[in-house]
Amino acid sequence: AKWVYTFGGGAAEGGIALVESLGAKGAGLAEMSALGLPVPPGFTITTEICQHYLANGHAFPEELTRQVAAALDGIGHVAERRFGDCDNPLLVSVRSGAAVSMPGMMDTVLNLGLNDQTVEGLARVSGDRRFAFDSYRRFIQMYGDVVLGLDHSAFEERLEDYKLANGLAFDSDLSADDWRAVCDIFKGLVVEELDEAFPQAPEAQLWGAIRAVIGSWNNPRAVVYRRINGISGEAGTAVTIQAMVFGNLGESSATGVAFTRHPSTGEKVLWGEFLPNAQGEDVVAGTRTPQDLTERARAETGSELPSLESSMPEVFATFSAVCAQLERHHRDVLDLEFTVERGRLWMLQARPAKRTIRAALKTAVDMAHEGLITKSEAVARIEPRTLDQLLHPTIDPDASSDIFARGLPASPGAASGTVVFSSEEAETARTQGRKVILVRVETSPEDVHGMHAARGILTTRGGMTSHAAVVARGMGKPCVSGAGQIRVDFHAGTMTAGGRTIRRGDTITIDGGTGQVLVGAVPLREPELSGAFAELMGWADEIRTLKIRTNVDTPADARAARGFGAEGIGLCRTEHMFFDARRITVVREMILAETEAARADALDKLLPMQRSDFAALFEIMSGLPVTIRLLDPPLHEFLPKGEPEIAELAAAMGVAPARIRARTQALAEANPMLGHRGVRLAISFPEIVEMQVRAILEAALAVGDETGVPVELEIMVPLIAAKAELDLVGARIRQAEEIVRKLHGRAPAFQFGTMIELPRAALAAGELAKSASFFSFGTNDLTQTTFGISRDDAAPYLNSYLALGLLPHDPFASLDEEGVGELIRIACERGRATRPDIKIGVCGEHGGDPASIHFFAGINLDYVSCSPFRVPIARLAAAQAAL
């Protein structure tokens, strides 16, 4: 079998088509090489080897050794150096790279092949002894960390000690002999820690690194990253072995990262950072302040350090041309790594760039306008769930704010929270439901879980491409990085800036869009959804056939939902109007009334209130369909809970508290979810139905008259199991309609339908459709009743079900297609058999879940209805389902 694919010298054995085997990095390198771009020669060991290795007790297929040796010879041939040669040694990097890129989560080793002999050869051929020993000490440290499992910081400490002892302030102050001495100290550290010499044989180094890189697929931070991002653990990583090029060969050398368009705003400008006389990991580590690529960016950041454009104009011109060519070739925004070795440009990585949702939208829309991609492709490129981030608030510009410090605007959005200084604290805070901002000097992949738990991240060191910045953007979390004025004292649990101190537990606000760190909780403002967002959503609307409605009960939410593009109300829960502080007493009077007359009295008071609620919604929806559900929850939910409330109500009603207590107890139920609710209430309390229907119809009449736009009205009965129930309630609704007709001389048109949230209703859908002109699947209840579990107290065992893999996903978040979906399919089939034009929608949480929306679109539902903030997500998911 072929396990190894070579690239370099203007050719390549693989390319993007083999991304599953070569990983994103390996495939991208092969692709660039085939395009004739300057890529150091190398080869990639496939992900299948990783799978084989992990499944077979860490053994490789025998054949691999030969293929690797041959490929290594091939690199040497192109690079005109030999691996292990003492005069002109070939050095390589051993790089990890999965098909789905996981930036910085796995390991890489640079400068491999150096030992006490080859370092002398490198010094001679490069004519730069200092460089050779700088590379060697880097190698010992990286190999020691990644392969030998030593602590990275142990090496750092020794280096600091050496500098201190010799009066050297910066790395740049160290001479060749200094680095040589540091190499000896580092090797001594290895012997001290492991009782074994640092491995000198290049062959042994190579296989040690290959094993370590493959092993890093399962390191804890990679595992956490995959879990957070829903990436499967099966695929494995590829290993790319590539000839080293040196950005640390003096001032005409450099290393950097770039994005072909701005990864935060999406603006069509080349954007990135570089460091002269450095190696790749220096940029990502955030240990030195990187410099801007372009003059334009330098002007914006006000940096005093020169840009690449001004300091290496020829390299910059070549690089810009390469960027343009790669973008055209890949038809996507790319994340690039490059190194300049003595004035010569080398490309080290090209992969689709991680970007903010704002940038994703802008680049997709721009690229469609540029003719690089079609509108459908643009729509397909946006992950619907990520739209959520757009709805992130920003700092209210009118609010007064007290700036504590400034850093870089590393990931947009604003967040407030109390300060914590470790990922463990952040994690604990999350489990306690506290909102925190994680403050670190810089983050490392070990902090990913803490970053996930925090509302926002603040670092005092590191650039826009530092670990914290990259990971936060990927998570859609606000992040301010490199706030250099801040001094953190972890021991004391404080941070200071400008003479002021903030303690652990104090509240701050960070603005990842501007880089500001503010004292206290600053008011936030909702974002504007115009520009690229509006344009792309317009394209999505042209593509989709599924309508998107919203679940709302208040005018404010209804207005917001229309702003998000809702095409009607799929569920108005009338009871939510009852919880209003001013009304709850009247509602309680109605429930507790002991005589028909007393109940009628209370209902008379509620009627005008409900009428005006409905009128407001009808007006906002202006001719779009509005589905109103009759009262659903168990009555005791409305009753007073504590003694003070009971006393208050007793006074208002002029009865003894004991009576109220007794009535409350009488209404208590063991299983309210399966109790006296929904249609069952409508049957026991026909007066409530009458009041609600009157309010609905009168409001519809009034709004129709006032606006000249008739209300598209749908009245819906919850928790139906059988046609007989539906017919009884239907008859009561007709009676109420008659009352309205008598009072007003006419009544508005409306449709009458049912929710389907019990398995029996789904099975009896053929019968129900004789009376109902529409169905609305209440998938929350249908999931509960199909599984026979109550969502309210399912969390403990549901979580272990998920952990054990007994369920593929939380069925309350994403529809269980196999069971609940099957009931929905059956109900649709039987309902349509009775009434071919029956309107069918969904009004559960699942109506806003992209995976569930694919299912609903697939069985040709008419609409889904979801909470206002999910409407854009649903519009996009419905379009993608139609592609």
Q: Which residues are identified as catalytic?
A: 467, 843
User: Should residue 348 be labelled a site residue for ligand ADP when binding is judged by CB under 6 A?
Assistant: yes
User: Should residue 241 be labelled a site residue for ligand ADP when binding is judged by CB under 6 A?
Assistant: no
State how far the Cα of 91 lies from the Cα of 183, in Å rounded to an integer.
17
CA-nearest of 10, 191, 28, 7 to 97 is 28
Using CA atoms of 772, 773, 778, 783 in order, give the dihedral in degrees to the nearest 10.
70
Q: What is the crossing angle of helices 19-34 and 313-330, to 10°?
A: 130
CB of 108 to Mg ion, least distance (A): 7
Q: Are strands 547-551 and 863-866 parallel, antiparallel or unpaired?
A: parallel
User: Should residue 41 be labelled a site residue for ligand ADP when binding is judged by CB under 6 A?
Assistant: no
Residue 280 interacts with, from ligand ADP, Mg ion, none (CB under 5-8 Å by kind)? ligand ADP
CB of 284 to ligand ADP, least distance (A): 6
User: Should residue 412 be labelled a site residue for ligand ADP when binding is judged by CB under 6 A?
Assistant: no
323/820 with CB nearer ligand ADP = 323
Contact (CB, 8 A) for 577 and 664: no
553/757 with CB nearer Mg ion = 757
Which position among 349, 416, 754, 784 is part of the footprint of ligand ADP (CB under 6 A)?
349
Which position among 123, 222, 245, 532 is part of the footprint of ligand ADP (CB under 6 A)?
245
User: Should residue 134 be labelled a site residue for ligand ADP when binding is judged by CB under 6 A?
Assistant: no
User: Should residue 778 be labelled a site residue for ligand ADP when binding is judged by CB under 6 A?
Assistant: no
CB of 110 to ligand ADP, least distance (A): 5
CB of 171 to Mg ion, least distance (A): 22
- Number of residues binding to ligand ADP, judged by CB under 6 A: 17
Q: One symbol per residue from 268 to 297: x for binding ligand ADP (CB under 6 A), - otherwise; what is it? A: ------------xx----------------
User: Should residue 40 be labelled a site residue for ligand ADP when binding is judged by CB under 6 A?
Assistant: yes
Residue type, 331: R
State how far the Cα of 516 lies from the Cα of 402, in Å rounded to an integer.
10
Can you give the three-state secondary structure of 717-731, one letter per residue? ECCCCCHHHHHHHHH
Which position among 24, 78, 110, 470 is part of the footprint of ligand ADP (CB under 6 A)?
110
40/474 with CB nearer ligand ADP = 40
Task: Kindly tell me the burial class for residue 538, based on how many C-beta atoms sit within 10 Å of its own C-beta (0-12, 13-18, 19 or more).
Answer: middle
109/364 with CB nearer ligand ADP = 109
Angle at 37 between CA 34 and CA 43, to 5 degrees: 55
CB of 138 to Mg ion, least distance (A): 16
CB of 276 to ligand ADP, least distance (A): 14
Residue partners of 456: CB distance under 8 A and separation at least 6 = 413, 414, 415, 417, 437, 438, 472, 477, 478, 479, 480, 510, 512
101/509 with CB nearer Mg ion = 101
Residue type, 580: D
CB of 718 to Mg ion, least distance (A): 6
Q: Is 213 helix (H, G, I), strand (E, B) or coil?
A: helix
Q: How far is CA 632 from CA 296, 553, 718, 864, in A?
A: 60, 14, 6, 20
User: Should residue 244 be labelled a site residue for ligand ADP when binding is judged by CB under 6 A?
Assistant: yes
Question: At 439, which helix (H) or strand (E)?
Answer: strand 436-440
User: Should residue 337 be labelled a site residue for ligand ADP when binding is judged by CB under 6 A?
Assistant: yes
Q: One symbol per residue from 453 to 492: x for binding ligand ADP (CB under 6 A), - otherwise; what is it? A: ----------------------------------------
| Segment near ligand ADP (CB under 6 A); pick from 101-109, 141-149, 166-174, 422-430 | 101-109
Q: How many residues does the chain have?
A: 883
Q: How far is CA 182 from CA 67, 78, 162, 199, in A?
A: 36, 33, 7, 17
Per-residue tokens: 485:
């004025």
Residue partners of 130: CB distance under 8 A and separation at least 6 = 174, 175, 176, 179
Residue 778 interacts with, from ligand ADP, Mg ion, none (CB under 5-8 Å by kind)? Mg ion
Q: In the complex, which residue's CB is closest to ligand ADP? A: 280
DSSP 835: -
**Sites of contact with Mg ion (CB under 5 A):** 349, 757, 778, 781
| Segment near ligand ADP (CB under 6 A); pick from 104-112, 458-466, 524-532, 647-655 | 104-112
Residues binding ligand ADP (CB under 6 A) = 40, 93, 95, 103-104, 108, 110, 242-245, 280-281, 337, 339, 348-349
